[in-house]
Amino acid sequence: GNSVTQMEGPVTLSEEAFLTINCTYTATGYPSLFWYVQYPGEGLQLLLKATKADDKGSNKGFEATYRKETTSFHLEKGSVQVSDSAVYFCALFRRGGSYIPTFGRGTSLIVHP
Amino acid sequence: GAVVSQHPSRVICKSGTSVKIECRSLDFQATTMFWYRQFPKKSLMLMATSNEGSKATYEQGVEKDKFLINHASLTLSTLTVTSAHPEDSSFYICSASFRLADTDTQYFGPGTRLTVL
Protein backbone atom coordinates (compact mmCIF):
# COMPACT_ATOMS: atom_id res chain seq x y z
CA GLY A 1 0.00 0.00 0.00
CA ASN A 2 0.85 3.64 -0.05
CA SER A 3 2.76 5.26 2.79
CA VAL A 4 4.37 8.56 3.71
CA THR A 5 7.22 8.92 6.18
CA GLN A 6 8.15 12.25 7.70
CA MET A 7 11.01 13.13 9.96
CA GLU A 8 10.25 13.14 13.66
CA GLY A 9 9.76 16.49 15.30
CA PRO A 10 9.70 18.91 16.79
CA VAL A 11 12.13 20.81 14.65
CA THR A 12 13.35 23.85 16.56
CA LEU A 13 15.08 26.68 14.72
CA SER A 14 16.06 30.27 15.22
CA GLU A 15 14.53 32.94 13.01
CA GLU A 16 16.20 33.23 9.58
CA ALA A 17 17.60 29.70 9.77
CA PHE A 18 17.36 27.26 6.86
CA LEU A 19 14.60 24.68 7.08
CA THR A 20 14.42 21.15 5.73
CA ILE A 21 11.66 18.71 6.61
CA ASN A 22 12.22 15.32 5.04
CA CYS A 23 9.43 13.33 3.43
CA THR A 24 9.69 10.02 1.61
CA TYR A 25 6.91 7.94 0.16
CA THR A 26 6.01 4.57 -1.24
CA ALA A 27 3.22 4.33 -3.75
CA THR A 28 2.03 2.48 -6.79
CA GLY A 29 1.59 4.36 -9.99
CA TYR A 30 2.26 8.06 -10.19
CA PRO A 31 0.94 9.92 -7.17
CA SER A 32 0.60 13.63 -6.70
CA LEU A 33 2.50 14.98 -3.71
CA PHE A 34 1.44 17.71 -1.30
CA TRP A 35 2.55 19.66 1.71
CA TYR A 36 -0.09 20.96 4.08
CA VAL A 37 0.40 23.28 7.05
CA GLN A 38 -1.67 23.38 10.21
CA TYR A 39 -1.55 26.33 12.58
CA PRO A 40 -2.66 25.81 16.19
CA GLY A 41 -6.37 25.20 16.53
CA GLU A 42 -7.01 25.32 12.80
CA GLY A 43 -7.57 22.94 9.91
CA LEU A 44 -5.00 22.05 7.28
CA GLN A 45 -4.08 24.50 4.55
CA LEU A 46 -2.57 23.50 1.25
CA LEU A 47 0.98 24.86 1.13
CA LEU A 48 2.26 23.48 -2.17
CA LYS A 49 1.97 20.55 -4.51
CA ALA A 50 3.68 18.72 -7.37
CA THR A 51 2.00 16.39 -9.78
CA LYS A 52 4.85 14.70 -11.64
CA ALA A 53 8.51 13.84 -11.36
CA ASP A 54 10.93 16.79 -11.22
CA ASP A 55 8.10 19.27 -10.64
CA LYS A 56 8.87 21.89 -8.01
CA GLY A 57 6.05 23.21 -5.89
CA SER A 58 6.55 26.57 -4.22
CA ASN A 59 4.60 28.99 -2.07
CA LYS A 60 5.38 31.62 0.58
CA GLY A 61 9.11 30.92 0.31
CA PHE A 62 8.68 27.18 0.77
CA GLU A 63 9.77 24.75 -1.93
CA ALA A 64 9.66 21.01 -2.53
CA THR A 65 10.78 18.99 -5.54
CA TYR A 66 9.17 15.72 -6.60
CA ARG A 67 12.08 13.26 -6.78
CA LYS A 68 10.94 9.98 -8.25
CA GLU A 69 14.40 8.39 -8.13
CA THR A 70 14.62 8.86 -4.37
CA THR A 71 10.84 8.82 -3.76
CA SER A 72 11.17 12.03 -1.80
CA PHE A 73 9.44 15.39 -1.49
CA HIS A 74 11.47 17.31 1.07
CA LEU A 75 10.19 20.70 2.20
CA GLU A 76 12.68 23.58 2.32
CA LYS A 77 12.71 27.25 3.18
CA GLY A 78 15.74 29.48 3.07
CA SER A 79 14.87 31.74 6.01
CA VAL A 80 12.15 30.82 8.48
CA GLN A 81 10.09 33.26 10.49
CA VAL A 82 8.39 32.93 13.85
CA SER A 83 5.07 32.92 11.99
CA ASP A 84 6.08 29.69 10.24
CA SER A 85 5.71 27.80 13.52
CA ALA A 86 3.12 25.14 12.77
CA VAL A 87 2.72 21.46 12.00
CA TYR A 88 3.59 20.38 8.46
CA PHE A 89 2.06 17.33 6.79
CA CYS A 90 3.36 15.57 3.72
CA ALA A 91 0.71 13.74 1.71
CA LEU A 92 0.23 11.80 -1.47
CA PHE A 93 -2.82 11.13 -3.58
CA ARG A 94 -2.75 8.55 -6.27
CA ARG A 95 -3.84 10.12 -9.51
CA GLY A 96 -6.90 8.89 -11.34
CA GLY A 97 -9.83 6.76 -10.37
CA SER A 98 -10.81 6.25 -6.78
CA TYR A 99 -8.08 6.86 -4.29
CA ILE A 100 -7.37 7.15 -0.63
CA PRO A 101 -5.19 10.03 0.49
CA THR A 102 -2.17 9.11 2.56
CA PHE A 103 -0.72 11.50 5.12
CA GLY A 104 2.48 11.52 7.06
CA ARG A 105 2.30 11.90 10.82
CA GLY A 106 3.18 15.57 10.70
CA THR A 107 6.27 17.47 11.78
CA SER A 108 6.05 20.25 14.30
CA LEU A 109 8.19 23.31 13.56
CA ILE A 110 9.03 25.78 16.31
CA VAL A 111 10.81 28.98 15.32
CA HIS A 112 12.31 31.14 18.06
CA PRO A 113 12.98 34.88 17.68
CA GLY B 1 -10.96 30.00 -4.15
CA ALA B 2 -11.47 26.43 -2.93
CA VAL B 3 -12.87 27.31 0.48
CA VAL B 4 -14.30 24.66 2.76
CA SER B 5 -16.28 25.55 5.86
CA GLN B 6 -17.25 23.50 8.88
CA HIS B 7 -19.96 24.13 11.41
CA PRO B 8 -19.85 24.31 14.32
CA SER B 9 -16.25 25.11 15.13
CA ARG B 10 -16.68 23.95 18.71
CA VAL B 11 -19.34 21.88 20.39
CA ILE B 12 -19.76 20.58 23.92
CA CYS B 13 -22.37 17.92 24.54
CA LYS B 14 -23.48 15.51 27.21
CA SER B 15 -22.68 11.84 27.03
CA GLY B 16 -25.35 9.90 25.14
CA THR B 17 -26.45 12.73 22.88
CA SER B 18 -25.85 13.04 19.14
CA VAL B 19 -23.91 15.78 17.42
CA LYS B 20 -24.02 16.78 13.77
CA ILE B 21 -21.10 18.47 12.03
CA GLU B 22 -21.53 20.07 8.62
CA CYS B 23 -18.90 20.40 5.93
CA ARG B 24 -19.50 22.67 2.95
CA SER B 25 -17.48 23.50 -0.12
CA LEU B 26 -18.30 27.16 -0.65
CA ASP B 27 -17.05 27.93 -4.13
CA PHE B 28 -16.70 24.61 -5.89
CA GLN B 29 -18.49 21.32 -6.34
CA ALA B 30 -16.64 18.56 -4.58
CA THR B 31 -16.43 15.19 -6.25
CA THR B 32 -15.42 13.62 -2.97
CA MET B 33 -15.47 14.60 0.68
CA PHE B 34 -13.36 13.09 3.44
CA TRP B 35 -13.72 13.01 7.20
CA TYR B 36 -10.71 12.85 9.48
CA ARG B 37 -10.18 12.64 13.17
CA GLN B 38 -7.10 14.21 14.63
CA PHE B 39 -5.68 13.01 17.89
CA PRO B 40 -3.78 15.15 20.41
CA LYS B 41 -0.34 14.30 19.07
CA LYS B 42 -1.37 15.58 15.66
CA SER B 43 -1.72 12.32 13.74
CA LEU B 44 -4.52 12.49 11.19
CA MET B 45 -6.79 9.48 10.87
CA LEU B 46 -8.99 9.09 7.81
CA MET B 47 -12.43 7.96 8.98
CA ALA B 48 -14.40 7.76 5.76
CA THR B 49 -14.67 8.85 2.17
CA SER B 50 -17.96 9.92 0.66
CA ASN B 51 -19.18 10.69 -2.81
CA GLU B 52 -22.36 12.61 -3.45
CA GLY B 53 -25.41 10.41 -3.61
CA SER B 54 -23.70 7.22 -2.55
CA LYS B 55 -22.86 5.52 0.71
CA ALA B 56 -19.69 6.47 2.50
CA THR B 57 -16.72 4.14 2.51
CA TYR B 58 -15.47 3.70 6.04
CA GLU B 59 -11.93 2.89 7.04
CA GLN B 60 -11.23 -0.23 9.00
CA GLY B 61 -12.06 0.14 12.66
CA VAL B 62 -14.48 3.06 12.21
CA GLU B 63 -18.00 2.22 13.36
CA LYS B 64 -20.52 3.00 10.65
CA ASP B 65 -23.46 3.13 13.02
CA LYS B 66 -21.71 5.51 15.35
CA PHE B 67 -20.32 7.92 12.79
CA LEU B 68 -23.10 8.52 10.30
CA ILE B 69 -22.11 10.30 7.13
CA ASN B 70 -24.55 11.82 4.70
CA HIS B 71 -23.42 13.41 1.46
CA ALA B 72 -26.57 15.07 0.26
CA SER B 73 -25.13 17.27 -2.46
CA LEU B 74 -21.92 18.20 -4.22
CA THR B 75 -21.35 20.94 -1.68
CA LEU B 76 -22.50 19.44 1.62
CA SER B 77 -21.53 16.47 3.74
CA THR B 78 -22.52 15.86 7.35
CA LEU B 79 -20.99 13.73 10.07
CA THR B 80 -23.24 12.73 12.95
CA VAL B 81 -21.64 11.31 16.06
CA THR B 82 -24.40 9.24 17.62
CA SER B 83 -24.65 8.45 21.33
CA ALA B 84 -21.44 10.34 21.96
CA HIS B 85 -19.11 9.29 24.75
CA PRO B 86 -16.13 11.09 26.29
CA GLU B 87 -13.72 9.00 24.22
CA ASP B 88 -15.28 10.54 21.10
CA SER B 89 -13.91 13.92 22.15
CA SER B 90 -11.54 14.98 19.42
CA PHE B 91 -10.84 17.38 16.59
CA TYR B 92 -12.81 16.42 13.48
CA ILE B 93 -11.70 17.76 10.12
CA CYS B 94 -13.38 17.44 6.76
CA SER B 95 -11.90 17.97 3.35
CA ALA B 96 -13.32 18.25 -0.13
CA SER B 97 -11.65 17.49 -3.39
CA PHE B 98 -12.20 18.13 -7.06
CA ARG B 99 -10.21 17.28 -10.12
CA LEU B 100 -8.38 20.06 -11.90
CA ALA B 101 -6.05 19.28 -14.78
CA ASP B 102 -6.01 15.59 -13.87
CA THR B 103 -4.91 16.31 -10.33
CA ASP B 104 -7.06 15.76 -7.27
CA THR B 105 -6.39 18.29 -4.56
CA GLN B 106 -7.94 18.25 -1.12
CA TYR B 107 -9.04 21.42 0.58
CA PHE B 108 -9.63 21.26 4.28
CA GLY B 109 -12.18 22.79 6.56
CA PRO B 110 -11.08 24.58 9.74
CA GLY B 111 -12.07 21.65 11.96
CA THR B 112 -14.59 21.06 14.73
CA ARG B 113 -13.55 20.56 18.33
CA LEU B 114 -15.93 18.12 19.98
CA THR B 115 -15.96 17.76 23.75
CA VAL B 116 -18.22 15.13 25.29
CA LEU B 117 -18.84 15.53 29.00
Which tens digits make up the pLDDT trace of A59-73? 999 999 999 999 999
For residue B55, what is the DSSP state? P
Yes or no, beta carbons of A38 and B42 under 8 Å apart: yes
In the predicted model, what is the mean pLDDT of residues A99-108?
Answer: 85
C-alpha B105/C-alpha B91 separation (Å) is: 22
Q: Which has the closest alpha carbon to B114: B95, B99, B93? A: B93
pLDDT at A75 over 90: yes
Cβ distance of A46 and B107 shorter than 8 Å: yes
pLDDT in tens, chain B (117 residues): 678 999 999 999 999 999 999 999 888 888 889 999 988 776 788 899 988 778 888 998 999 999 999 888 889 999 999 999 999 999 999 998 876 655 677 889 999 999 999
Cis peptide before A10 (omega within 30 of 0): yes
Query: What is residue A9's predicted lDDT score, i.e. its pLDDT?
Result: 86
Report the DSSP pairing between strands B90-100 and B103-108: antiparallel
Please name the residues between 40 and 69 in chain A that touch chain B, using a CB distance below 8 Å.
Answer: 41-46, 49, 51
Q: Which residue of A has its CA nearest to B92?
A: A43
* Contact predicate A76/A90, CB 8 Å: no
Q: Do B78 and B102 contact (CB within 8 A), yes or no?
A: no
Among A42, A31, A37, CA closest to A19: A37
Q: Are A33 and A54 in contact (CB under 8 A)?
A: no
> What integer pLDDT is reported at residue A82 of this predicted model?
96
Q: Do residues A111 and A11 touch, judged by C-beta distance below 8 A?
A: no
Give the closest residue to A111 by CA, choosing from A40, A18, A49. A18
From chain A, the residues in CB contact with B47 under 8 A are none
Mean pLDDT, chain A, rounded, equals 91
What is the model's pLDDT at position B42? Answer: 65
**Which of A42, A90, A98 is best to mutate for the B interface (most B CBs within 10 A)?**
A42
Task: Convert the pLDDT of each residue in A18-39 to its tens digit.
Answer: 999 999 999 877 788 999 999 9
Residue A40, burial from CB neighbour count under 10 angstroms (0-12, 13-18, 19+): exposed
Interatomic CA distance for residues A8 and A107, integer angstroms: 6
Residues of B in contact with A86 (CB under 8 A): none
**What is the pLDDT, as a whole number, of residue B31?**
80
At B39 the pLDDT is: 82
Q: Which of B71, B40, B51 lies closest to B80, judged by CA?
A: B71
Residue B5: the pLDDT is: 94
